């Protein structure tokens, strides 16, 4: 078994949950934000939908320089169906890239920089864990709070929510 294989299994399992949360996003509320310092619902949901493709697109290279102009959050999809399709497309990009990581490549150094200045460097497998997975879960949690504040039923994520009990 390769080092990346357990993370691929986790990625598949968590993607079904992320998709359930994104399916609840009301597109007509895209501009809504819970606070002036918060991202809008549409921007947050789009960030979640595009994060896997951004990481997947950069994972096999030696790093990413933010000054390249690539990697920004695109416009918010007009419909919830388009948002979910965007996520599925980007998840496929990430899965394909992750599937190409043998142990040597997984442990190889990957660098994030801005205009040539290193912000962080870590093994690719750590990038998958910390940015692709953990960062994505963090934002998915934020999105579930947005849904609650908008009185949208929150799906079960790791167990029952006030609206959905997978054990009942």
| 62 DSSP assignment | S
Longest pairwise C-alpha distance within the chain:
54
Residues 6 or more apart whose Cβ sits within 8 Å of residue 167: 159, 160
Query: Model confidence over 101-146: pLDDT tens digits?
Result: 999 999 999 999 999 999 999 999 999 999 999 999 999 999 999 9
- Cα–Cα distance, 1 to 151 (Å, whole number): 44
- Cα–Cα distance, 69 to 83 (Å, whole number): 22
Mean pLDDT of all residues belonging to the chain: 95
- Site of tokens 């990581």: 101
| This prediction's pTM | 0.94
Query: Model confidence over 145-167: pLDDT tens digits?
Result: 999 999 999 999 999 999 999 99
Percentage of the chain modeled with pLDDT above 70? 98
Domains of the chain: 5-149 (1.20.120.450)
| 134 DSSP assignment | I
What is the structure's pLDDT at 27? Answer: 97
- Cα–Cα distance, 121 to 28 (Å, whole number): 39
What is the structure's pLDDT at 71? Answer: 62
What is the structure's pLDDT at 74? Answer: 84
Which of 33-42, 61-70, 148-157 comes out lowest in average pLDDT? 61-70
Q: Does the pLDDT of residue 21 top 90, yes or no?
A: yes
What is the structure's pLDDT at 56? Answer: 93
Torsion angles phi and psi, residue 165, rounded to 5 = -125, 105
What is the structure's pLDDT at 12? Answer: 96
Q: Does the pLDDT of residue 68 top 90, yes or no?
A: no
Burial 27-40 (b: 16+ CB within 10 A, else e): bebbeebbeeeebb
What is the structure's pLDDT at 72? Answer: 66
Mean pLDDT throughout 45-50?
97
């Amino acid at each position: 078994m390769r080092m990346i294989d357990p993370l691929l299994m986790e990625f598949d399992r968590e993607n079904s949950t992320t998709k359930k949360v994104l399916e609840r996003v009301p597109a007509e509320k895209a501009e809504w934000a819970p606070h002036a310092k918060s991202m809008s619902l549409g921007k947050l949901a789009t960030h979640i939908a595009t994060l896997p493709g951004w990481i997947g697109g950069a994972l096999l290279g030696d790093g990413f320089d933010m000054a390249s102009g690539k990697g920004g959050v695109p416009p918010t999809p007009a419909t919830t169906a388009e948002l979910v399709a965007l996520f599925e497309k980007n998840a496929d990009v990430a899965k394909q890239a992750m599937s190409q990581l043998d142990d040597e490549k997984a442990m190889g150094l990957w660098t994030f920089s801005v205009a040539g200045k290193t912000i962080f460097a870590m093994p690719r497998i750590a990038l998958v864990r910390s940015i692709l997975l953990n960062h994505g879960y963090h934002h998915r949690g934020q999105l579930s709070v947005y849904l609650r504040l908008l009185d949208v039923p929150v799906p079960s994520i790791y167990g029952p929510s006030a609206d959905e009990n997978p054990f009942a």
